[in-house]
Amino acid sequence: MARKGEMFAGLTVALVTPFREGNVDEAALRKLVDLHVDAGTECVSPCGTTGESPTLTHQENERVIAIVCEQAAGRLKVMAGTGSNSTAEAIRLTTRAQKDGADGALLVAPYYNKPMQQGFYEHYRAIAEAVGLPLVVYNIPGRTAMNIEPETICRLGEIPNIVAVKESTGSMDQASQILGGSDLTVLSGDDSLTLPLLALGGSGVVSVVGNIIPQDVRSLISAWNEGQVAEAQRWHHKLFPLCRDMLGLATNPIPVKSAMQLLGRDSGDVRLPLTRLAPAQEQSLANTLEAYGLRSG
């Protein structure tokens, strides 16, 4: 089956937001985009969970997306994080991202409000009708308190410019229902589930660990796409301990920012209410990085 959002197949990196002295470090952000261009990353997604969007002001959110689009300059795609629990605000942010040159928008399920399934449908339909960008539904009930049920997601897939879903429920059953009941592109929202989701018919991942080792995540996806199952499994098992630490040691993006600091790619601290890893956690992460073959410095 041809899927609607294959433009976002492969590796999308859920980009961290660099901070310096409490402000967005614009120079560091531009360097991150260039790094991913050089690494062959197909797409970056600024201002998502990993980008600490809940602590960005609306002005910062707009500025980060604008910088990433400008620096990308067509060399890779930009899936801008423009979600909100206010439908009107999500429309405003998505409209602005389209003007700034984003290739698509990643829209997290409305959080805190706990809408009914019809509310989810009307929320995304309103955004799709207001903005012409390809839209990616971001379903992460562990953070939003409500699951967008697969029936609702399949129904949303009937809207022309809703093209994909970032599947962060951890449920292969839910992913199977979406893949079997729609022509939406399904992207893994969990690095450790990338290979299982590809095996079901998924098309890629919106990756946290890709901030550190984008080439290796691409190698896993490429191996699978080329029918090299054993090679894809090898990459999965190599990546797994690092993927586990990115979500298991502490709340994302605390571990990935700590890893970047340990590897000499400092992107600044996380913003409150997130805090740094405890010394024992940081040592555990350093051990994982070294076991992987990455050296701190």
What top-level class would CATH report for the domain 6-228? alpha beta
| Closest by Cα among 230, 254, 237 to 192 | 237
List, by residue number, the catalytic residues: 138, 166
Element (DSSP H or E) covering residue 197: helix 194-200
| Closest by Cα among 185, 99, 182 to 135 | 185
Q: At what angle do helices 254-262 and 229-248 cross, to 10 degrees?
A: 100
Q: What is the pLDDT of residue 297?
A: 55
| Closest by Cα among 128, 143, 144 to 94 | 128
**238 token code pair:** 């190599």
| Tens-binned pLDDT, residue by residue, of the chain (297 aa) | 789 999 999 999 999 999 999 999 999 999 999 999 999 999 999 999 999 999 999 999 999 999 999 999 999 999 999 999 999 999 999 999 999 999 999 999 999 999 999 999 999 999 999 999 999 999 999 999 999 999 999 999 999 999 999 999 999 999 999 999 999 999 999 999 999 999 999 999 999 999 999 999 999 999 999 999 999 999 999 999 999 999 899 999 999 999 999 999 988 999 999 999 999 999 999 999 999 999 765
Each domain of the chain, given as residue ranges in start order, spans 6-228
Q: How far apart are CA 287 and CA 155, in angstroms?
A: 45
**55 token code pair:** 């602590």
**144 token code pair:** 């939003």
Strand 43-45 relative to strand 10-14, pairing = parallel
DSSP 8-state assignment for residue 276: P
Q: What is the pLDDT of residue 266?
A: 82
For residue 174, which amino acid is it? Q
| Closest by Cα among 213, 233, 214 to 288 | 213
pTM over 0.85: yes
What lies within 8 Å, CB to CB, of 283 at 6+ separation is none
